[in-house]
Amino acid sequence: MALLQITEPGQAVDPHQRKRAAGIDLGTTNSLIASVRAGVAETLADEQGRHMLPSVVRYTSSGIIVGDEALTEAVNDSMNTIVSVKRLMGRGIKDVATLGDQLPYRFSASEGGMPRIETVSGNVTPVEVSAEILRTLVDRASATLAGDLDGIVITVPAYFDDAQRQATKDAAQLAGVNVLRLLNEPTAAAIAYGLDSGNEGVVAIYDLGGGTFDISLLRLRKGVFEVLATGGDSALGGDDFDRAIAAWIVEQSGYAKPLASEQLRGLLMASRSIKESLTDNAKVDIDFDRDGVRFKGTLDRATFDDLVAPLVDASIKACLRAVRDAGIELGEIHNVVLVGGSTRVPQVIDKVAEYFGKTPLNNMDPDKVVAVGAAVQANVLVGNKHDDEMLLLDVLPLSLGLETVGGLAEKVISRNTAIPAVRAQEFTTYKDGQTAMLIHVLQGERELVTDCRSLARFELTGIPPMVAGAAKIEVMFNVDADGLLSVSARETSTGTQAGVEVKPSYGLTDGEITAMLQASFEHATEDANWRSLLEARVESGRVIEALGNALAEDGAALLMESDSQALQQAIEELGRVSEGEDHLAISEGTELLGRASEEFASLRMDAAVRKALAGKNIAEVDIAEVDKEI
């Protein structure tokens, strides 16, 4: 695929200033890691030249195997070889039970309601399995880039809910890597597309992966990638096409008993090969014989098309909804981009072309485009300076709501609201002297609580006791740029801040995460103090650099000489403390410097806003004008 050039060739990049960042496409079937090097964004290969890492983790009594080597044993050792773990991320044990005939694992429940998969080397959660995949990729990048990564961007399906996103972040934490941003996969693809084509206008990203489907509509304008609407199905993907073929084979063979895990895994893998063959061939001869399931015959494309038509149609319906949500006409869409290996299926290409009324673009490698886009974003977020003023404005994919009387879900933030976003909702007490309240947050579009996904229960405490109905409790729902929710609450008549405790419906409890981190080999062997010192120094270094740059840029224009000097001295002081070995002193110093520079940060922000509106340089803003505002 064409390599994305994002800086002018020949532009000197100081190797000492560049931080190491990477973008990771943590896919259902395959994962990839990409990075920007010498102005070019490209995927990284392992020592054997392989770019794609099968998202397969095999647990054996002698160790953990990730990737191609694990895949080869997927059929023989199906109970211990975890495939498509992404479908289990952020799901509770009840959801997973319904997938029982699709995924041949033994499950048990954990403390937080998360499913644990029983393997020969112990019970593992989907988060731990994903962490292994991440670790393998991060190690690959560290080796290739000759050093530890300063941060990564991980992509998630746009349609992933809060629980699924949090699980992804937890996996990164376990893998010991800093997550700069969770980026929606179609948005990542749009970055790659936008930079590749240089086109402005509305683009539709049709992303059909192994286990998830996303449709996103973005407008590219003035370097800004603005998501207009997003839709999809987090349980629809190429895996389902495989299942359709597998079910057909079983039906044709007359085998009527429930399938054992080896049989199922074998069938699914054979089905996948058949599906891929049918892309280039009008029919495929099948000779399947495994543990009692016997079928010899032919599957032609017409039959295959019939088998998967309902799945493809479901994806087109989601496209329809997204176009309506975006408030645009089909004709306004300039291009359609296909992303994900499953978009190679001819029927998919045909139906997408038919619906959008134009030939979809697939000149970028559909397997790599997401990782590449993520790498570009990672490069920006880690702080490497660049000339492109690229910005992503994303949206909340699923409505957030609350449970109200009668089991109804009342929407608080609608889907496709631009993030970061905030909403306030007022509640009151229903009993005299009531001091606590439980709020049940849901995600989804349906009207009944039972049809939505339970996100978390927030317990508000510390409400001042009053007559029933007198308390005015304002609850603020904040969705950050990663699409994650946080809640704060205040009783407005007394101004009391209510305590908020989150009980996520499907997460890992803090206790579980700590336990996992402690159990992890790397953490057990490193000296805890040394780690703390390193972390404190990294943090102080970051703040020193950020503030130093800020002063250099805007200090003269926005601050009095004396204030500017005071900050400069504080920076130097922190630099001195950081050379010592007292990590607590360093952390404290970092905190203090941050607070001392708060006013300056505020002035910079105000000036930036003024600049945006007036088109002036900050240096041109009269300092007297600024003083008046204070």
Partner 1 sequence: MDFNKNYFEIFGLPVDYAVDQDLLDDRFLDLQKQVHPDRFAAGTDQEKRLAMQWATLVNTANETLRAPLPRAIYILGLRGVELEHNPTLPPAFLMDQIDLREQLESIEEGEGNLEELDSFRQKMQQAINEVQAKFKAALDEDTDKAERLVYELQFLSKLMVSANRLEEKLLDY
By beta-carbon proximity to partner 1, the closer residue of 34 and 413 is 413
Judge residue 145's burial from the number of C-beta atoms within 10 Å of its C-beta, 0-12 exposed, 13-18 middle, 19 or more buried: middle
By beta-carbon proximity to partner 1, the closer residue of 16 and 257 is 16
By beta-carbon proximity to partner 1, the closer residue of 393 and 412 is 393
By beta-carbon proximity to partner 1, the closer residue of 59 and 356 is 356
CB of residue 546 to partner 1, shortest distance in Å: 5
CB of residue 540 to partner 1, shortest distance in Å: 11
Q: Give yes or no for a contact between 145 and 41, defined as CB atoms under 8 angstroms apart.
A: no
By beta-carbon proximity to partner 1, the closer residue of 293 and 593 is 593
Q: CA-CA distances (angstroms) from residue 180 to 154, 173, 379, 477, 484?
A: 8, 12, 10, 22, 14
Closest by CA position to 504, among listed 202, 260, 164: 164
Cα separation, 281 vs 521, in Å, equals 48
Q: CA-CA distances (angstroms) from residue 207 to 16, 115, 204, 340, 378?
A: 37, 27, 9, 6, 21
Q: Which residues bind partner 1 (CB under 8 A)?
A: 180-181, 221-224, 226, 317, 320-321, 324, 380-383, 389, 391-393, 417-422, 478, 480-481, 542-543, 545-547, 550, 593-595, 597-598, 601-602, 604-606, 608-609, 611-614, 629
* Residues 6+ positions from 436 with CB-CB distance below 8 Å: 459, 460, 461, 462, 463
* Residues 6+ positions from 357 with CB-CB distance below 8 Å: 330, 331
By beta-carbon proximity to partner 1, the closer residue of 68 and 606 is 606
Q: Give yes or no for a contact between 51 and 32, defined as CB atoms under 8 angstroms apart.
A: yes
Q: Give yes or no for a contact between 489 and 429, defined as CB atoms under 8 angstroms apart.
A: no
CB of residue 553 to partner 1, shortest distance in Å: 12
CB of residue 421 to partner 1, shortest distance in Å: 6
CB of residue 558 to partner 1, shortest distance in Å: 14
Cα separation, 101 vs 187, in Å, equals 33
Closest by CA position to 32, among listed 366, 357, 533: 366
Give the DSSP letter string of 18-57.
Answer: PPPEEEEEE-SSEEEEEEEETTEEEE---TTS---EESEE
DSSP letter, residue 466 = -
Question: Which sequence positions are flagged as catalytic?
Answer: 25, 86, 185, 207
By beta-carbon proximity to partner 1, the closer residue of 133 and 183 is 183
Cα separation, 370 vs 97, in Å, equals 31
Cα separation, 53 vs 71, in Å, equals 10
By beta-carbon proximity to partner 1, the closer residue of 280 and 629 is 629
By beta-carbon proximity to partner 1, the closer residue of 177 and 516 is 177
Instruction: Locate 621 and state its tokens.
Output: 């803003």
Cα separation, 237 vs 470, in Å, equals 51
By beta-carbon proximity to partner 1, the closer residue of 335 and 416 is 416
Cα separation, 268 vs 274, in Å, equals 10
CB of residue 393 to partner 1, shortest distance in Å: 6
CB of residue 420 to partner 1, shortest distance in Å: 5
CB of residue 446 to partner 1, shortest distance in Å: 13
Give the other-Cβ count within 10 Å of 537's Cβ. Answer: 19
Closest by CA position to 138, among listed 59, 26, 231, 218: 26
CB of residue 77 to partner 1, shortest distance in Å: 42
- DSSP E strands in 194-320: the ranges are 201-208, 213-221, 224-233, 283-290, 293-300
Judge residue 178's burial from the number of C-beta atoms within 10 Å of its C-beta, 0-12 exposed, 13-18 middle, 19 or more buried: middle
Q: Give yes or no for a contact between 200 and 223, defined as CB atoms under 8 angstroms apart.
A: no
